[in-house]
Structure 1
């Protein structure tokens, strides 16, 4: 009897330990997903609040774009450095630092009393998010190591990432209508404080990479400034023209800096920011290309569709944001639902299905006119886009970190998120130019005399042209995705420098 009692007592702590481990992992998943949601939410929520921001802080129409651009430029330009810092200095440490900095920057922006202060705060938010986002993906990858549970965790993280952009518009409309535009930023303060507590308690301390070395400051500066110059040059092309001195200068500077970055990583840096050998991982290379093309198309719809609803179909900002709710729900459902099947189906199959669905949705949207109805012309494409985007986010996230060594998961996360942000920024700039050119061509010779119906027709035709080009970009991403391995394995061959 004594032996049996002793055995029972010895075995008793095991379930308790398993329960604590499960609770900790749930805390990690919640913290990582909420951090990702905060970073994506801010992009689209601010878009809805822009008219109120302009009125409150006296922005000119030309300068208002910097409220959005400052965030996206800083985020896309610094993501690679943020991902590498997570590998070199510790994933938990950089995640908590990123959350704290993002919370502080949100407080500064939400209480800003002038335009320059708000733009500076948005830039600081972008820098903080560039540290926070890749660290969350690296923490997830390190915490969930079994392929099935990793796929489920990535599915939820991807659902949050994909749905955040759409839900941000809804949140922005509600907060701006019933509170103030300031709450699109201030809402991050209590969320950030909650995240700091949960992250501190649940995320285990991680050892930095074995070969810490010295940070590749030169490479980080070159790629950050190069990407910022590239996005700025493309973004200003609509205002000044492609052949103008500001645009040509920015693009030439971007080309020089990015070429130097490649040379530095290949030949000069002792501990490169991006060891180019990681691109021997086929899944990582192909997924980054798919991410860039698909985000160039999808992020454009996040920009175009609210304008189509408000400017052409005369929906209010709040109503427009609510009409986009089905697309957001489809993103969440599809990303979460497919996660468990990724190991069985393979990332290529999941990505291909998502890209095909999104392509069809964009092609359908390209037929919307100024006489379109929501039920007849928009709800169907939104469902196709939402379902497709959920599959794309899940498949590409799993593929991007497949087979990457643990000490390079931050780098892989930084690469995929950089390409997504950069693809989205370039896509909006280019496709907005395509839409504007189409509208201007239809109104040629009617400057100042065009009727309201003619302007609505021209605007709808411009958006249609943008959607059509977006469908072609999705189709291109589909072709690239076919190069991926047919089935998700425990990991691709690990390649080290």
Structure 2
């Protein structure tokens, strides 16, 4: 329960902030790009350090890394609430991302250690996703209520008592395996710098500052190449050797990025487009968020009966249809039924794909790299979220100044999900190489 509550806290912080965007813009005198950075700097810090968090969980043990992350997350949340300017908020949001990067992979590592058999582990992961997914549903509603009582600062204060509850529930030390391997800091710094430059390039492109976008894009490419070169000669590369050529696991990482791209596009964009109170914005998102909370338990049964690929494919079919309906509703306005149906389909898209692809990745990786799998999977997911927020902020800012349609971010996300269904349909795990043989490959139920 404590493990899931910690992940609940991390996700709650993201979804609560979505409905707080208009309040932050008013209080800190910033625009869409400013609140875009409040989102992207968190996901950027999270994405760039999740691999490091997974490596630390493997080396030091998942339990101490988990506890440190929870303590730091609670403290950084209070600092965010006390931020007097946007600059201070961005600094403390980055710290939140760093501590979240310690929580997420270590929590998955703890679950893997507690449930070594694939069957019980799959059910535990589904329950973890369902309990944690409650944050997605609760976030907009709780955020709307908190903002009505006080202002946007209250949405950060709520994390402090949750962190204390997690520490109380997890006060008994849990056994976690340590794998003594070195950690090389330079590749991790290179990854963070690459993601920062790429986000700046996307933001500038969205504002049609093409020369600066080109400059940051070239810097990002240079940093990416340098990081890859350094990582190849590193005694402790970002990606363990056991995962380097594992095509199935890397496919799951790509699916995770696509899911978070689509989800972040909806959560970030809609509160800015609806022009309603935070509480009303939270209520509008309920068709999607409630399904994200409740449906993972059904997904767990689907995975047990048919294997993970079927719900993954179902989700990537539902997602682009839902995003297209949301695009139509936002473009023409006053279409609540179309918007609600689109949100329902997006909720199915997340709740079918995400638990299944997490189980798919864990099943096709060696147990000794479970922490790294959790770190890399969530890093790619947060990279997708970072890019989505940067693209949506840039596009919405440009559309507002030029009178363009608000549907563009959702249509871009739909195209990303189409790529997901193409790859999931073409995948045949029984013919793929580079994954360990195990229960996930022994019968038709896992294909």
Which digits, 9 at most, give the CA deviation of each residue in 1:306-345, with x for residues without a partner? Answer: 23322xxxx3221121121121111122112221331331
TM-score, structure 2 length as denominator? Answer: 0.90
Which digits, 9 at most, give the CA deviation of each residue in 1:408-434, with x for residues without a partner? Answer: 111111111111111122123335545
1:162: Cα distance to partner?
4.7
SS at match of 2:6: helix
Equivalent position of 1:258 in the other structure? 224
1:193 and 2:164 are equivalent in the alignment: yes
Give me the whole-angstrom Cα distance separating, in 2, the residues matched to 1:329 and 1:171: 14
* Distance verdict in 2 for CA 1:118–1:298, change over 3 Å: closer
SS at match of 2:116: coil
* Greater CA drift, 188-197 or 276-285: 276-285
Counterparts of 1:323-362 in structure 2, within 5 Å, are: 323-362=284-323
1:480: Cα distance to partner?
1.1
RMSD, aligned CA: 2.5
1:57: Cα distance to partner?
4.5
* Distance verdict in 2 for CA 1:115–1:307, change over 3 Å: closer
1:482 and 2:431 are equivalent in the alignment: no
Task: Answer whether contact 1:265 1:276 (CA < 8 A) is retained.
Answer: no
Give me the whole-angstrom Cα distance separating, in 2, the residues matched to 1:124 and 1:439: 31
* Greater CA drift, 119-128 or 223-232: 223-232
Counterparts of 1:41-440 in structure 2, within 5 Å, are: 41-59=12-30, 63-162=34-133, 164-201=135-172, 203-209=173-179, 211-212=180-181, 214-239=182-207, 241=209, 243-245=210-212, 247-266=213-232, 268-275=233-240, 277-310=242-275, 315-368=276-329, 369-374=331-336, 376-434=337-395
Aligned length: 435
1:58: Cα distance to partner?
5.0
* Distance verdict in 2 for CA 1:420–1:264, change over 3 Å: same
1:148: Cα distance to partner?
2.1
* Greater CA drift, 37-46 or 272-281: 272-281
Which digits, 9 at most, give the CA deviation of each residue in 1:387-407, with x for residues without a partner? Answer: 221011111111121132233
Give me the whole-angstrom Cα distance separating, in 2, the residues matched to 1:483 and 1:98: 39
TM-score, structure 1 length as denominator? Answer: 0.81
Give me the whole-angstrom Cα distance separating, in 1, the residues matched to 2:185 and 2:277: 47
Please list every run of 5 or more consecutive structure 2 residues that lacks an aligned counterpart in the other structure. Answer: 431-436, 443-447
Please list every run of 5 or more consecutive structure 1 residues that lacks an aligned counterpart in the other structure. Answer: 1-29, 444-457
Give me the whole-angstrom Cα distance separating, in 2, the residues matched to 1:423 and 1:186: 27
Task: Answer whether contact 2:7 2:132 (CA < 8 A) is retained.
Answer: yes
Give me the whole-angstrom Cα distance separating, in 2, the residues matched to 1:481 and 1:162: 23
Equivalent position of 2:445 in the other structure? none
SS at match of 1:181: coil
Give me the whole-angstrom Cα distance separating, in 2, the residues matched to 1:394 and 1:32: 16
* Distance verdict in 2 for CA 1:56–1:81, change over 3 Å: same
Give me the whole-angstrom Cα distance separating, in 2, the residues matched to 1:163 and 1:473: 25
Give me the whole-angstrom Cα distance separating, in 2, the residues matched to 1:299 and 1:65: 11
Task: Answer whether contact 1:348 1:486 (CA < 8 A) is retained.
Answer: no
* Distance verdict in 2 for CA 1:295–1:260, change over 3 Å: same
Q: Which has the larger radius of gyration?
A: 1
